[in-house]
Amino acid sequence: MPSPLLPAPRAPTPACYLLTHVVGLPLILACLAWWTQDSGLDMHIARALFDPALDDFPLHASRWLELLGHRIVLALPIGVGLAAAGVAVASFRIPAWRRWRGVALAVAATCLTGQLLINQLKHHTMLPRPYDLETLGGYTPYPVHWWTWARARAGGALPSGHAGAGYALLSLYFAGWALGRPAWRWAGLAVGVAGGVGFSAVRILQGAHFLSQTIWSAALMWLLAAVFFYPLIAGRTAGGPPRAPGVS
């Protein structure tokens, strides 16, 4: 129940929320990703990191980057998603946790759906990893088309799963917003951006992803979080507490 001494944060109108968070920011990120690829910035960065003498990216086989930035990182969104799902399930037995149910479900949906969707999309996009390109020590030419129905022709790199794992933490921004906790909201944004940028940088340094592929992941994860949190933020009554689906 909101404190009588502090006004409850005003919920955005559905139209404003849809235009800014569901459409606006994902569209800006999508345009940035497209420009990064089309302008040649992708290849410029990849060539700067490529060592012709080695015919490879020097950090491609780094054991620490491989362990921390490649293997372990994928457990992050799955762990957060499962933990949030656990809170939602436990809220049916623990009355004090009921107010967290909707937020926990939205966090779980964002983290788990994001990884599933990214995993499927990369099997139908043709842009490969930098180290797979024949001009960067690999074996395949730069593709002409983006999409393919044949999984065998897919590049397996767009969007980036590891960047998506970090950007899944953007759900914490929306969680803080839905709960009416500004400090949690902005801390969640900082954690999500830092996680996404950090994991993206690791994979770019390894030659495993182009910059644009990681930006596409940011656009997708923000879109998913904005959609799943819509009923908790824009769908709640004006001046009222966050509304959890199925909770009266």
pLDDT at 9 exceeding the cut of 70 = no
The answer to whether 212 touches 204, Cβ cutoff 8 Å, is no
The number of residues in the chain equals 248
Closest among 175, 173, 172, 166 to 217, alpha carbons compared: 166
Closest among 212, 178, 224 to 29, alpha carbons compared: 212
Give CA 193 to chain center in angstroms: 9
Residue 194, helix vs strand vs coil: helix
Helix locations, 50-100, DSSP H = 63-66, 75-90
Per residue in 129-172, pLDDT tens? 999 999 999 999 998 888 888 888 889 899 999 899 999 999 99
Distances (CA, A) of 233 to 45, 190, 217, 221, 246: 39, 19, 23, 17, 15
pLDDT at 80 exceeding the cut of 60 = yes
Closest among 90, 91, 86 to 107, alpha carbons compared: 86
The answer to whether 203 touches 214, Cβ cutoff 8 Å, is yes
pLDDT band at 71 (very low <50, low <70, confident <90, very high): low
Closest among 75, 74, 97, 73 to 86, alpha carbons compared: 97
**Residue bearing tokens 């004006």:** 238
**Terminal-residue alpha carbon distance, the chain:** 14
pLDDT of residue 64: 79
- Give 56's DSSP letter: B
pLDDT of residue 26: 97
- Give 242's DSSP letter: P
Mean pLDDT of the chain: 87
Distance CA 164, CA 200 (A): 9
Peptide bond before residue 52 is cis, with ω within 30 degrees of 0: no
The four Cα atoms 81, 77, 174, 121 give a dihedral, to 10 degrees, of -110
Residue 140, helix vs strand vs coil: strand
pLDDT of residue 194: 94
Distance CA 106, CA 124 (A): 27
% of the chain exceeding 90 in pLDDT: 69
Closest among 160, 163, 172 to 108, alpha carbons compared: 172
pLDDT band at 246 (very low <50, low <70, confident <90, very high): very low
